[in-house]
Copies of this chain bind each other. A is one copy, B any other.
């Protein structure tokens, strides 16, 4: 490489860093809810490295894909997944039309509020609950039901709407990435049609940027009108090794940054960070019993075990909610 090309490149990087420093002095902090520390620093360094023209790690805007898990990464997943709370509520709503549920499991336990009984019904019971609460209606009808529920339901311990139980530092991160021409997607084990009605208002992530688990659907005439009808069969589980599959299918490009909190996100982070060029992986560790809930290796929801051991070895950032976050929820 000719010396003046090298000098030009050095100058551009120097100039960009100078501008970044100057801009930082003049502009408001993009991550005000993050404490100064290694986690915050790793995010800022990555974004500057891949978005600064002339940087050795520069990535074209078209390839700036970032993926976020939802449950436990963007909003609370304790004491149970929000969608499970929705399904249990929906069983109660539908119960008057199903007197047989009073005596048959898993519905009997759901109606009695007996979570141990629900758990005892296992995967088969859960599949039955999902089938009766999530299928047999059109996609438009389900959207209306999910929208109405999310607008009125309250978190069992805080009494707040679920959409205010989101993590403010992560929302800032989404905005920061978008401001740097990243395209941001949710890639969640949750139901794709359960999330889509509210992700745009809550995280500024539109429906088409949401990847999730799905049940089978069918196009047919329904009450004389064409409709997409939801069937009682699982189509795709967007969790674990399913996440890279879902990303490949829905997005079609390997992300350069991935954000998760549980071992269900492990393969998504593994696949993202194994790509060529500079990559970024981040795990939110729920270690803040005072402001949220402390859980990891033994949790029924959002178990984090392998990621805690393997993540640091692979260069992933482990966020301590307790130490790295100034604030957990929005004001």
Using a CB–CB cutoff of 8 Å, the interface residues on chain A facing chain B are 62, 139-140, 183, 185, 192-193, 196, 200, 206-210, 214, 217-220, 225-228, 241-245, 248-254, 267, 270-271, 274
Contacts and interface: CB of A to CB of B under 8 A. Distances in A.
A249 B207 contact: no
27 contacts: A62-B206, A140-B254, A183-B208, A185-B208, A192-B249, A192-B252, A196-B252, A207-B251, A207-B252, A207-B253, A208-B208, A208-B251, A208-B253, A210-B252, A214-B249, A218-B241, A218-B245, A219-B242, A219-B243, A219-B244, A219-B245, A219-B267, A226-B244, A226-B267, A226-B271, A227-B271, A228-B245
B245 A217 contact: yes
Contacts of A200: 62
Point out which of A226, A241, A243, A249 has the most chain B C-beta atoms below 10 A from its C-beta. Answer: A249
Contacts of A245: 217-219, 228
List 4 tightest A-B contacts by C-beta distance, closest first: A207-B252, A219-B241, A219-B244, A228-B248
Contacts of A248: 139, 217, 228
Nearest to A242: B219
Contacts of A227: 271
A206 to B, nearest CB: 7
A81 B66 CA distance: 34
Nearest to A196: B252
Contacts of A214: 249
Nearest to A216: B245
B274 A226 contact: yes
A233 to B, nearest CB: 13
A210 B251 CA distance: 9
Contacts of A140: 254
Contacts of A193: 252
A228 B244 contact: yes
A157 to B, nearest CB: 31
B250 A250 contact: yes
B208 A252 contact: yes
Given A208-B252, A217-B249, A245-B219, A274 B225 contact: yes
Nearest to A185: B208
A218 B267 CA distance: 12
Point out which of A139, A206, A227, A248 has the most chain B C-beta atoms below 10 A from its C-beta. Answer: A248
Contacts of A274: 225-226
Contacts of A243: 219
Contacts of A210: 252
Nearest to A235: B249
Contacts of A249: 192, 214, 217
A218 B220 CA distance: 30
B62 A250 contact: no
